[in-house]
Amino acid sequence: MTVFRLLWRHRALIAVLVRRDLDARYRASVLGFFWSLINPLLLLAVYAVVFTYIFSPRFPGGDPYPLFLFSGLLPWLFFSGAVLDGSATLIDNGPLLAKVMCPPELFPAVTVLSHLIHHLLALPILLVALIVSAAAGQHSFPWSFPLVVAALVPWLLTTAGAVFAISVLSVHYRDMRDLIGHLLNLLFFSSPIIYSLEGLQVPAMLHRVLSLNPLVSLVTVYRDAVFTGRVSPPQLWLTAYAVGIVSWWLGTRVFAAYRETVVEAV
């Protein structure tokens, strides 16, 4: 709670820092902020081609597959992008931390928020794709789309918790970043992003292990809203929010434990 209050007190500064983050990303390129859209679109194209034409998916996905994939990939890119940037954010802002009295909480928060804004900027593309595919009669339009706001909240909390913990751990343990890359890979393939857990043809044991992944509920709730077009069952919503809250709580606890030594370690 105190973290919330601190961030709120510095909201004007956070706004400036987020703006700077976005500016820095877009200014240097001719295409400006379209880069932020091209990235997920490229990734989407690669996965769509690979799983439509090269491997015929042995797992059940929704139809059309690119849309199904996109609805899983979008929140994942938010999460993984923020976590990757988060592992460097305190180190990059070391000069500020070491010379001005500056609450270190600001920087992971800025990382999360600027990735959230990216995500929100990419949502219209998904919406356009949904409308086009509905017009072509391939997929009925998911009228549950506005629920995306509610589905984003657990994503936001989970991401923030992870970024808080990882930002401060990477300062103290410099090999954290390498580890993060591997962990993200593992998490990506164990989450139902390129496949769906329902009716997955794997041994029951593996299926059970996969369902333990805390991101399952988050991915499903989000995809239900923006792709499947149904309201997820309440226990799924509860799980997703519980995951978010636990992650936030844990992340801020870890941050608090290492906070005082950040400046010395940076």
Partner 1 sequence: MKGSIRFSNVSKIFRWRGPRTRHETLKGAFFHRRVLRRRSSSDQHVALDGIDLEVAPGEAVALIGPNGSGKSTLLKLTGGILKPSSGTVEVDGRVTALIELGAGFHPEITGRENVVINGMLLGLGRREIEERMQEIVDFADIGPFIDQPVKIYSSGMYVRLGFAVAVAADPDILLIDEVLAVGDEAFTRRCLNRLARMRQRGVTMVLVSHDLDLVTSFADRALYLDRGRIVVEGPADAVAARYRSDAVGDSDRDDHPPPVRNVDDNTRWGNGDVDIVSVELCVGENTSRLVASGGPCSLRIRYSVHKPTEDFVFGVAWHRSDGTQVSGHNTDLAGLVPGRLEKDGEVSCEYDSLQLSPGEYLVDVAVHARNGLAYDYWCDALKLRVTSEVEWPGVWSPPHRWRSIGPEWEESDGTPARDGNSRE
Q: Which residues bind partner 1 (CB under 8 A)?
A: 10, 12-13, 16-17, 20, 23-24, 92-93, 95-102, 172-176, 179, 260, 263-265
What does the alpha-carbon distance between residue 47 and residue 41 come to, in Å, rounded to a whole number? 10
Least spacing, CB of residue 95 vs partner 1, in Å: 5
Least spacing, CB of residue 260 vs partner 1, in Å: 5
Assess whether the previous peptide bond of 154 is cis (omega < 30° from 0). no
In Å, what is the CA distance from 88 to each residue of 15, 36, 167?
Answer: 20, 19, 7
Which residue's CB is nearer to partner 1, number 6 or number 132?
A: 6
Least spacing, CB of residue 73 vs partner 1, in Å: 29
Q: How many residues does the chain have?
A: 266
Tokens of 107: 């920087």
Which residue's CB is nearer to partner 1, number 176 or number 200?
A: 176
Which residue's CB is nearer to partner 1, number 198 or number 264?
A: 264
Least spacing, CB of residue 178 vs partner 1, in Å: 9
What does the alpha-carbon distance between residue 222 and residue 197 come to, in Å, rounded to a whole number? 14
Which residue's CB is nearer to partner 1, number 197 or number 265?
A: 265
Cα pseudo-dihedral 258, 5, 99, 28, rounded to 10: 100
Q: CB neighbours (10 Å) of residue 45?
A: 13
Least spacing, CB of residue 37 vs partner 1, in Å: 23
Q: Are 191 and 76 in contact (CB under 8 A)?
A: yes
Least spacing, CB of residue 106 vs partner 1, in Å: 9
Least spacing, CB of residue 42 vs partner 1, in Å: 25
Which residue's CB is nearer to partner 1, number 198 or number 260?
A: 260
Q: Are 248 and 161 in contact (CB under 8 A)?
A: yes
Which residue's CB is nearer to partner 1, number 23 or number 63?
A: 23
Which residue's CB is nearer to partner 1, number 100 or number 149?
A: 100
What does the alpha-carbon distance between residue 180 and residue 26 come to, in Å, rounded to a whole number? 25
What does the alpha-carbon distance between residue 249 and residue 61 come to, in Å, rounded to a whole number? 33
Angle made by CA atoms 32, 35, 41, in degrees to the nearest 5: 150
In Å, what is the CA distance from 260 to each residue of 5, 88, 144, 171?
Answer: 18, 18, 45, 12
